[in-house]
C-alpha cells in the first residue's frame, strides 16, 4: 500500500476552521437534535452493538418473522438478523399502502424531454406486482439473477423492486456502460434475464441501449430472455423467442403477487464496482441488514419527514441510487424525485427548475456536479426559487471547501445544513457524516461516524495514528449493511478487504482525524481512480488499452482535474509497425469507450517508447502521476531500472506542450 500522506489531496483544507453549528430551528425538529444525543447514541451502539441494531431493526423494518440471533460474526463473514423472514419490496411498497400513505407520491419522475409521471405508492404496488408476475412467467425463480440495463425511468425502480418481491437478486448495470462491460457482468453473475429499453435520452440524443444489450446477449449463454421497455420509439433489432416487449408481457400479467418472505441473509443485489484489478467486483448485499442500514441512515442523515420532497440525483446504476433513491427512502415511505436527464440540458438551470417546480426540500448530489454548477455561474440558480430547500447532501469524493461554501451559500441560501456523506458500494449505507440537527459541520470534512460505525485511522500494521496524522481508514466492527462477499469469490473478498489490517475492514481510503474528532477523507490509496465521483480501476483501463492491436503496454494514472476531481492519463507503448499519431490517439480513446464506457475515456494519451519500471518490473506510477500532472518529480528514483526513460518522457512532454 502506498502512503496515504503522499496523495496530497487536501493540503488546502488543513487550515479549514469555519464551523457551522446546526441551525436551532432545524435541530428542534430533527430526528437527532443535539450533539449530546448523537454522542449518547454512538456510545450506546459501541458498548452494545447488537442491542442497538436490534432496536433499529425493530423500529424501522417490518419482519414476517423475527430473528433468532442479531449477529453471527465469523470474521470476515457476517450474518445479520439470522432466522428472520423479510421482503424488501413489501417494506418499500406494500406496507405504505396499508395506511394513510397509499395515495402519497412515491416517485415524482421527470424525463429528459420534459415528460412527467407520478407514481403513488398504490401505483408502485400495482406496477411492481405486475412486473414480478412477468418475471415469474419468464421462469425467474427465487435466487435467479436478473440484470437491469435501463435509463433513469420509473421502470428501473419497478423492475428492481419486482426482483426483490420474488427473491431474485438484481444486478443493475449503469446505462453508460458498453456492451462489453454489460456482457462481463452478466457472465460473472450468470443472469438469466436482462431487462432493457429500446433507448434512453442523454442531452437530446438517444443512447441505443437495446443495441448494446444485443451485443452483450450474443456472448452470454446463460441469458434466456430480454425484456425491452419502449422508451424512445427507436427501431431495434429483434430476436424472436428471446426478446419480449415489456408492455406486451405486462398486458397479460396479474397485478396480484404476494411478496415472497425471504431469509434476512437472502441476496438482494449484486453491484459491480472497480477494484484494483482489471476485473470489476460483484459486491453482494443481502436483504435484512441492508434495509436496516439504508432506512436508518436515510432517516438520520437526511432527516426525512413525511412531508419532505427528497431528490437524490444519482443514477440507480450506482450504489447511491440503490440506497438513497430506491431502498432507503422508499422503506420510509418518502416522496422521491427521479430525473432522467443531465444537469445542463436543455440548459444549465435544469436542476434548479426541477427544485422550483416540485418544491424539493432535500437535495443529494455530487461534488463534481457542484463544481460544474460553480463554473456555469450563479445566474442559473438565481433565476429559480430555491426557498423550499432545507437540507443539502454531498457524496462520491472529497468536497473541496470552496465547493462546499458555494453549495451552502448559493444553493442553500446559507440556511441549509450540508451533509458530506462518506461511504462506499461495499458499505451499503452512509458511514461517516454529520447528522444535520446535531453535528457542527466543517467545509471539507465528513465529520463523525454514525452510531454503530467504528472507524479508525491506522498505520500499515494497524496501530492508531495520532491526531491530524494521515493513515489508512478502517472499520473495526461489522455493521448490518456491509457487503457479505464478492459474488462467487470469498477468497478475493478476504484478500481485498480483510488482510491488509487483520481483523478490520480496510476501506482503500486514506484519512486523518482532527483534534475535534472530525474525519478528513484523503482519497484512495490503491490503484482506484475517482473520476467525477465514479470509481475506475487503472488496471481496467490498461486492460482495455492493451486489447487494442497497436498497443504493447499501457500504464494509466489519475491527474488532478478541476471539475472531475481526477482525469485519466494513459501512457502507451506501441507494437512495432505502429506509429504515434493523432488518429491513433482518437482510435484508442474510442476503443476504451467501446470496452468499458464513456466514463472511462482517457483524457490524455501519451505515446512513449518505454515505461518507467523498477528492476523487478513494476511500473512506477508515482513518477507517471507527476508527469501527467505536469509537476517536477520529487522523491526517490533510485529503484528505476532505466533512468533515461524519465528523461525521454519529460523531453517528449516538453515537445508536445
Ligand atoms: C469511494 C467509494 C458512496 C457512493 C458513491 C461512491 C470516495 C465517497 C466520499 C466523501 C470523500 C468519498 C471514497 C470511497 N468517497 N464519498 N463524502 N468524501 N470521499 O461509491 O463508487 O463505491 O466509491 O468514493 O474514496 O472509497 P463508490
Question: What does the pLDDT look like over 403-448, one tens digit per residue?
Answer: 999 999 999 999 999 999 999 999 999 999 999 999 999 999 999 9
567 and 498 together in one domain: no
60 and 170 together in one domain: yes
86 and 157 together in one domain: yes
Provide mean pLDDT across the span 453-481: 97
Residue 563 has what pLDDT?
A: 94
**Residues with Cβ within 8 Å of residue 201, at least 6 apart in sequence:** 111, 112, 113, 151, 207, 231, 232, 340, 341
Residue 14 has pLDDT above 80, yes or no: no
Provide mean pLDDT across the span 391-411: 96
481 and 607 together in one domain: no
**Residues with Cβ within 8 Å of residue 146, at least 6 apart in sequence:** 135, 140, 159, 163, 168, 169, 170, 171, 191, 192, 193, 194, 195
Is residue 602 exposed (0-12), middle (13-18) or buried (19+ Cβ within 10 Å)?
A: buried
User: Mean pLDDT in the chain?
Assistant: 94
Whole-prediction pTM: 0.94
Has residue 375 been placed in a domain?
A: no
490 and 575 together in one domain: no
Q: What is the pLDDT of residues 443-464, one digit of tens each?
A: 999 999 999 999 999 999 999 9
Q: What is the pLDDT of residues 599-650, one digit of tens each?
A: 999 999 999 999 998 888 888 888 999 999 988 766 677 777 777 887 777 7
Pairing of strands 193-197, 146-149: parallel
Q: Number of structural domains, the chain?
A: 2
Ligand 1 binding pocket mutation candidate from 530, 531, 566, 599 (most atoms within 8 A of CB): 530
Q: What percentage of the chain reaches a pLDDT higher than 90?
A: 90
423 is in an annotated binding site: yes
Ligand 1 binding pocket mutation candidate from 318, 422, 449, 496 (most atoms within 8 A of CB): 422
Q: What is the pLDDT of residues 325-377, one digit of tens each?
A: 999 999 999 999 999 999 999 999 999 999 999 999 999 999 999 999 999 99
Is residue 225 exposed (0-12), middle (13-18) or buried (19+ Cβ within 10 Å)?
A: buried
CA of 463 to the centre of ligand 1 (A): 24
Has residue 387 been placed in a domain?
A: no
CA of 510 to the centre of ligand 1 (A): 12
330 and 474 together in one domain: yes
Residue 3 has pLDDT above 70, yes or no: no
How long is the chain? 657
476 and 536 together in one domain: no
103 and 68 together in one domain: yes
Distance CA 242, CA 236 (A): 14
501 and 624 together in one domain: no
Here the ipTM equals 0.99
Has residue 257 been placed in a domain?
A: yes
The CB of 521 under 6 Å from ligand 1? The reply is yes
Provide the grid cell at 73. 460474526
Residue 621 has what pLDDT?
A: 87
Residue 649 has what pLDDT?
A: 79
499: CATH = 3.40.50.12780
pLDDT band at 550 (very low <50, low <70, confident <90, very high): very high
Distance CA 531, CA 526 (A): 14
Residue 619 has what pLDDT?
A: 86
DSSP at 600: G
The CB of 281 under 6 Å from ligand 1? The reply is no
Has residue 524 been placed in a domain?
A: no
The CB of 422 under 6 Å from ligand 1? The reply is yes
54 and 185 together in one domain: yes
Has residue 520 been placed in a domain?
A: no
633: CATH = 3.30.300.30
Distance CA 268, CA 165 (A): 10
Residue 596 has what pLDDT?
A: 96
**Nearest ligand 1 atom, CA 425:** 22
495 and 593 together in one domain: no
Has residue 408 been placed in a domain?
A: no
205 is in an annotated binding site: yes
pLDDT band at 657 (very low <50, low <70, confident <90, very high): very low
CA of 162 to the centre of ligand 1 (A): 28
Has residue 295 been placed in a domain?
A: yes
Cβ distance 141 to 165 under 8 Å? Answer: no
357 is in an annotated binding site: no
The CB of 298 under 6 Å from ligand 1? The reply is no
The CB of 439 under 6 Å from ligand 1? The reply is no
Distance CA 324, CA 329 (A): 6
The CB of 508 under 6 Å from ligand 1? The reply is yes
**Residues with Cβ within 8 Å of residue 577, at least 6 apart in sequence:** none
Distance CA 16, CA 138 (A): 57
Give the range of the structural domain holding residue 189, as residue numbers without chain letter: 34-342+417-451+458-511
524 is in an annotated binding site: yes
The CB of 589 under 6 Å from ligand 1? The reply is no
Residue 635 has what pLDDT?
A: 67
| Residue of minimum CA distance from atom 12 in ligand 1 | 397
188 and 329 together in one domain: yes
Ramachandran bin of 356, using left for φ above 0, alpha for ψ from -120 to 50, beta for the remaining angles: alpha
The CB of 174 under 6 Å from ligand 1? The reply is no
Ligand 1 binding pocket mutation candidate from 298, 521, 531 (most atoms within 8 A of CB): 521
CA 185 to chain centre: 16
Residue 4 has pLDDT above 60, yes or no: no
- The larger pLDDT score, comparing residue 13 to residue 286, is at 286
Residue 385 has pLDDT above 50, yes or no: yes
Amino acid at each position: 500500500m502506498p502512503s496515504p500522506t503522499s496523495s496530497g489531496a487536501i493540503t488546502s483544507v488543513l487550515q479549514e476552521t469555519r464551523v457551522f453549528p446546526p441551525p436551532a430551528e432545524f435541530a428542534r425538529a430533527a430526528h437527532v437534535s443535539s450533539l449530546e444525543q448523537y454522542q449518547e447514541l454512538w456510545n450506546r451502539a459501541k458498548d452494545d452493538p447488537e442491542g442497538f441494531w436490534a432496536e433499529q431493526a425493530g423500529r424501522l423494518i417490518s419482519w414476517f418473522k423475527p430473528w433468532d440471533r442479531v449477529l453471527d460474526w465469523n470474521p470476515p463473514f457476517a450474518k445479520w438478523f439470522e432466522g428472520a423472514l423479510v421482503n424488501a419490496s413489501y417494506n418499500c411498497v406494500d406496507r405504505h399502502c396499508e395506511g394513510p400513505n397509499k395515495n402519497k407520491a412515491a416517485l415524482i419522475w421527470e424525463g429528459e424531454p420534459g415528460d412527467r409521471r407520478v407514481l403513488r405508492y398504490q401505483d408502485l404496488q400495482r406496477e411492481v406486482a405486475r412486473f414480478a408476475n412477468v418475471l415469474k412467467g419468464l421462469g425467474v425463480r427465487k435466487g435467479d439473477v436478473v440484470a437491469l440495463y435501463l435509463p433513469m425511468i420509473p421502470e428501473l425502480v419497478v423492475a428492481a423492486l419486482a426482483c426483490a418481491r420474488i427473491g431474485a437478486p438484481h444486478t443493475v448495470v449503469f446505462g453508460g456502460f458498453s456492451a462489453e462491460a454489460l456482457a462481463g457482468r452478466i457472465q460473472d453473475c450468470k443472469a438469466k434475464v436482462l431487462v432493457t429499453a429500446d433507448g434512453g435520452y442523454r442531452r437530446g440524443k438517444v443512447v441505443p441501449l437495446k443495441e448494446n444489450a444485443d451485443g452483450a446477449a450474443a456472448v452470454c449463454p446463460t441469458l434466456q430472455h430480454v425484456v425491452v421497455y419502449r422508451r424512445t420509439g427507436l427501431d431495434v433489432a429483434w430476436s424472436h423467442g428471446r426478446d419480449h416487449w415489456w408492455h406486451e408481457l405486462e398486458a397479460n400479467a396479474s397485478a396480484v403477487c404476494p411478496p415472497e418472505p425471504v431469509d434476512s441473509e437472502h441476496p438482494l443485489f449484486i453491484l459491480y464496482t472497480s477494484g484494483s484489478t482489471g476485473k470489476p467486483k460483484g459486491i453482494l448485499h443481502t436483504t435484512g441488514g441492508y434495509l436496516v442500514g439504508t432506512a436508518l441512515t436515510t432517516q438520520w442523515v437526511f432527516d426525512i419527514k413525511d412531508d419532505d420532497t427528497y431528490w437524490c440525483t444519482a443514477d440507480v446504476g450506482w450504489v447511491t441510487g440503490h440506497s438513497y433513491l430506491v431502498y432507503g427512502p422508499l422503506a420510509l415511505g418518502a416522496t422521491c424525485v427521479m430525473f432522467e436527464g443531465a444537469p445542463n440540458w436543455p440548459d444549465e438551470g435544469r436542476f434548479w427548475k426541477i427544485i422550483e417546480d416540485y418544491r424539493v426540500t432535500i437535495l443529494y448530489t455530487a461534488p463534481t456536479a457542484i463544481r460544474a454548477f460553480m463554473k456555469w455561474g450563479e445566474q442559473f440558480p438565481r433565476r429559480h426559487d430555491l426557498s423550499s430547500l432545507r437540507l443539502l447532501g454531498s457524496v462520491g469524493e472529497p468536497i473541496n471547501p470552496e465547493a462546499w461554501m458555494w453549495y451552502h451559500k448559493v444553493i442553500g441560501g446559507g440556511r441549509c445544513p450540508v451533509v458530506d456523506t462518506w461511504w462506499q458500494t461495499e458499505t451499503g449505507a452512509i458511514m461517516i457524516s454529520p447528522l444535520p440537527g446535531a453535528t457542527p459541520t466543517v467545509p471539507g470534512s465528513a465529520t463523525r461516524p454514525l452510531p454503530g460505525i467504528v472507524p479508525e485511522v491506522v498505520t500499515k500494521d494497524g496501530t492508531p495514528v495520532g491526531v491530524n496524522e494521515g493513515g489508512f481508514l478502517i472499520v473495526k466492527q461489522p455493521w448490518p449493511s456491509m457487503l457479505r462477499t464478492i459474488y462467487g469469490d470469498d477468497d478475493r473478498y478476504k484478500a481485498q478487504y480483510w488482510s491488509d489490517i487483520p481483523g478490520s475492514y480496510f476501506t482503500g481510503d486514506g484519512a486523518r482525524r482532527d483534534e475535534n474528532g472530525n474525519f478528513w477523507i484523503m482519497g484512495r490509496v490503491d490503484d482506484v481512480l475517482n473520476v467525477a465521483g465514479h470509481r475506475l480501476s487503472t488496471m481496467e483501463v490498461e486492460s482495455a488499452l492493451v486489447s487494442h492491436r497497436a498497443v504493447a503496454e499501457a500504464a494509466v494514472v489519475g491527474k488532478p482535474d478541476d471539475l472531475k476531481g481526477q482525469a485519466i492519463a494513459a501512457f502507451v507503448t506501441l507494437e512495432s509497425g505502429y506509429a504515434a499519431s493523432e488518429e491513433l490517439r482518437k482510435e484508442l480513446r474510442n476503443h476504451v469507450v467501446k470496452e468499458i464506457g464513456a466514463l472511462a475515456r482517457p483524457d490524455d494519451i501519451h505515446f512513449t517508447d518505454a515505461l518507467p519500471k523498477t528492476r523487478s518490473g513494476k511500473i512506477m506510477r508515482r513518477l507517471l502521476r507527476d508527469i501527467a500532472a505536469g509537476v517536477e518529480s520529487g522523491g526517490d528514483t533510485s529503484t528505476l531500472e532505466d533512468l533515461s526513460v524519465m528523461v525521454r518522457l519529460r523531453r517528449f512532454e516538453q515537445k508536445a506542450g
